[in-house]
Structure 1
Amino acid sequence: MYNLLDGLRIIEASSFVASPTAGLYCAQFGAEVIRVDQVGGGPDYHRWPVTEANDSLYWENLNRAKKSVALDLTQPEGRELLQALVQSVGQFITNFPADGFLSHATLAEGRQDLVTVRVMGWPDGTPALDYTVNNAVGYPMMTGIGPEPVNHVLPAWDLLSGAYAAFALLAAIRRREQTGLGSEVRVPLSDVAIGTVANLGGVAEVLHNNANRSRLGNTVYGLFGRDFVTKDGVRTMIVVVTHRQWANLIAALGLTDAVGAVEAERGVSFAKDDGLRFEHRDALFPLFEAAIGALDHAAMVTVFDAAGVVHSAYKTMLDAAHDSCLVGDNPIFSASDANPSGLAYPAAGAFGTIPQLQRADAKPAPRNGQHSEEILSEALGLSSGEIARLIDSGIIGIAK
């Protein structure tokens, strides 16, 4: 946790991954992010993984360091309170539909300089999820070895969209500071996905070739990279991204002469050409399979580390959670025992490190409605009697 955004208050009305991620990243850098949910929790409040008591570990980690206001958004009075909060604060992150009571046009009637960032599925408002967008841009047809598509489990487009939305919010706020103008920034998952494909050269590639890229399994496209198995059965990923790493790799494995023979036979030089190493992988991979397969993993690690070769053994997520480098001694993590679930475990804070500033510990997520009275009093000036009436009528929810 850092306080770079101290003094910035943001209303967030969202669910699932992308939009809450935008709020999370702002909160981790010191913004006061107020998440507004339905009384009792929104559609993601019990999303798996959950504890035996049905507390969502997903929810309490995507919503760390935020405050929670609970309103009955099925009732006009509850919706009006959310509108008033957004207009009072002036910064809004959401994945609610572009039309309706949280449309930017409606909200801006009461706050002309309002900044809204809206995470969407498709640009026309059609709903979409990370996993449906991913299959639309073609990646599942490039992974595995076929013929079936292979979906990955990481919600990459959600996470990228959330990060982009946080960036877009700050960019729009800066524009407002310079011009006094508000704006709505719409961030569709589909545009983040296909735009990323284009930024990586994929759209140009397939149009230029008029063909799809071949499926490569665990081979890295355009580089020398693949998984290999050591003598003692440890599967390890090895990737070469510089010419020095290539020279060090073949020297470490004693393959200089064997690789030279392939070069002579095929009339090529691999010394300074990533693409040639990739194109001639049919001749190179068997050499490396044999050399690595003759070494125990510990011996390979010693040799590779001394040579500066980039490698990593495959691990389970449980392995990673017990890894001292990744978690145990990693300063982005801090012990957390104040979680709504009641569980104690390492909690992640800001991913970025600022050497000039002291890092604060990760903060817990709120309980649904934990800050309803505080925020409605401060932001809207509601009296204690009015808040009590709204609680009694079920329009406002409070943590129990």
Structure 2
Amino acid sequence: MYQLLNGLSLVEVSSFVASPTIGLYCAQFGADVIRVDQIGGGQDFRRWPVNERGDSFSWENLNRAKRSVALDLTKPEGRELLVRLCQQVGTLATNLPAKGFLAHDKLAQGRPDMISVRVMGWPDGAIALDYTANAVVGYPALTGHGDEPVNHSLPAWDFITGAYGAFALLAAVQRRTATGLGGEVRLPLTDIAIGTVANLGRVAEVLYSGHDRPRLGNAVYGTVGRDFVTADGVRVMIVAINERQWQGLLRALDIGAAIAGIETRESVCFAENDGMRYAHRDAIFAVMEAAIAPLSHAELAERLDAQGVTHGPYKTLPQAMEDDRLFTANPMFAQCDSNPSGFAYPAAGAFATIPQMERAPAAPAPLNGQHTEQVLAEKLGLSSGEIARLIDTGIAGVAQ
């Protein structure tokens, strides 16, 4: 964690991945993020993976460094408290409907400079999830082999939306600081997905060519890259993405003569021409396979490292967690013994490294309602008696 956003307060009313990620990234840089949930936890409070008690490791890690307020949002008084809290703080991140009780125009009636960042499915308010957004923009049609779509398990559009949402929120805050103006930022998952696809050149590619690109299995589009198996059974991804790495690959595998033979046979030149190498990838891959097959993974890695060629063995997550660079000696991780689940383990802090600043360890997530009394007194100025009444009547909840 880094204290770069001290002074910024944010109310977060959200669930699942994209919207909580906005608050998480802000909290990791020092913002005071107040997560508001239904008493007992919202719809993502028990989301898998879970421990034997049903405590969610997903919720626990997406809500680190935040404060928690629990309200009964099924009751008008609970919703009114949340509206007042949003208006008092002045900044909101949510994935609740645009026309619900946290509609921006309603909040702005009591706070003209209100900022709302709202994660949505489709721009018109229709529901979409990461997995359905991924399906409609065509990426499952590019993975694997054959005719069936193949989903990947990483909710990439959720995380891209969360990161973009944190960026958009800070941009809106900067505008408010400069002009006094608030406003709403809407982030439809489908726009994030198709916009990212367009930024990668794929929309222009389809419009220009008139068709989609073929499935490539584990090959990398547009360059020399694929998985290969060593003599000791290790599967390795190798990518030569520029001329330096291409020449290094030829030296590392001692395949210069064989590649020259392909060039002569096909009347082409691979030097300084990544596209030509990609077009003749099958012939190149066959030469690479023959050169790699007799080598152990250790021998192959030594050769590729000596020539500056990018490579990496395929690992399971348990295997990855044995890697010093990734996990065991990575300063991004710090032991956290006070997790709501009761399970102590190294937790990830801010992904960025700022060499000029001291990195604070990852903070624990709150218990549901852990900061209800504190926030209601601090932000809304409620007396201890009024807070006690809200708790006794079930409008507000505290950690148990």
TM-score range, shorter chain: over 0.9
- Offset, 1:152: 0.3
- Say whether residues 1:205 and 2:200 are aligned partners: no
Q: Once the two structures are aligned, what percentage of the paired residues are identical?
A: 64
**5+ unaligned residues in a row in structure 2: which ranges?**
none
- The one-letter code sitting in structure 2 at the alignment partner of 1:121 is G
Structure 1 segments, 4+ long, off by >4 Å, are: none
2:315 pairs with 1:315: yes
Partner of residue 238, structure 2: 238
d(CA) in 2 for partners of 1:395, 1:272: 68
In structure 1, the gaps of 5 or more residues are: none
Structure 1 CA distance for aligned equivalents of residues 384 and 238 of structure 2:
63
Deviation for aligned residue 1:307:
1.0
CA distance in 1, matches of 2:77, 2:109: 18
> 2:93 corresponds to which residue?
93
SS in 2 for 1:347: strand
The secondary structure found in structure 2 opposite 1:109 is: helix
TM-score (norm 2): 0.99
What is the aligned partner in structure 2 of residue 179 from structure 1? 179
Instruction: Give the C-alpha shift of residue 179 in structure 1.
Output: 1.0
Please state whether the residue corresponding to 2:225 is helix, strand or coil: strand
Name the residue aligned to 1:387: 387
Q: CA deviation at 1:322?
A: 2.2
Measured in 2, the distance between the counterparts of 1:261 and 1:105 equals: 69
The letter of the residue matching 1:61 is N
User: Which residue does the alignment assign to 1:302?
Assistant: 302
Instruction: Look up the SS of the partner of 2:74 in the other structure.
Output: coil
C-alpha displacement of 1:242? 1.3
Distance in 2, matches of 1:24 and 1:240, equals 35
Tell me the C-alpha RMSD between the 2 structures.
Answer: 0.6
Letter in 2 for 1:118: R
Deviations 1:170-216 (A, max 9, x none): 00011111111110000010000000000000111111111111000
Amino acid at match of 2:70: A
Q: What's the CA shift string for 1:299-356, capped at 9, x where partnerless?
A: 1111111111100000001111222110111111100111000111110000001000
SS at 2:110 equivalent: coil
SS in 1 for 2:312: strand
Matched, 1:358 2:372: no
Structure 1 residue 228: Cα displacement: 0.4
Query: What is the count of residue pairs matched by the alignment?
Result: 400
Tell me the distance in 2 between the aligned counterparts of 1:398 and 1:339: 17
Write the distance in 1 (CA, Å) between the matches of 2:169 and 2:146: 41
What is the DSSP-based 3-state SS (H/G/I as helix, E as strand, rest coil) of the residue aligned with 1:222? coil
Q: Separation in 1 of the partners of 2:322 and 2:383?
A: 49
The separation in 2 between residues aligned to 1:33 and 1:66, in whole angstroms, is 5
Corresponding residue of 1:10: 10
**Cα distance between partner residues in 1 of 2:349 and 2:379:** 27
Aligned residue in 1 for 2:116: 116
TM-score by length of 1: 0.99
- Residue 348 of structure 2 is matched in structure 1 by 348
Match of 1:328 in 2: 328
**How far apart in 2 are the matches of 1:362 and 1:284?**
46
Partner of 2:159: 159
Structure 1 equivalent of residue 226 of structure 2: 226
Take 1:252 and 1:3, find their aligned partners in 2: how far apart are those partners? Answer: 45
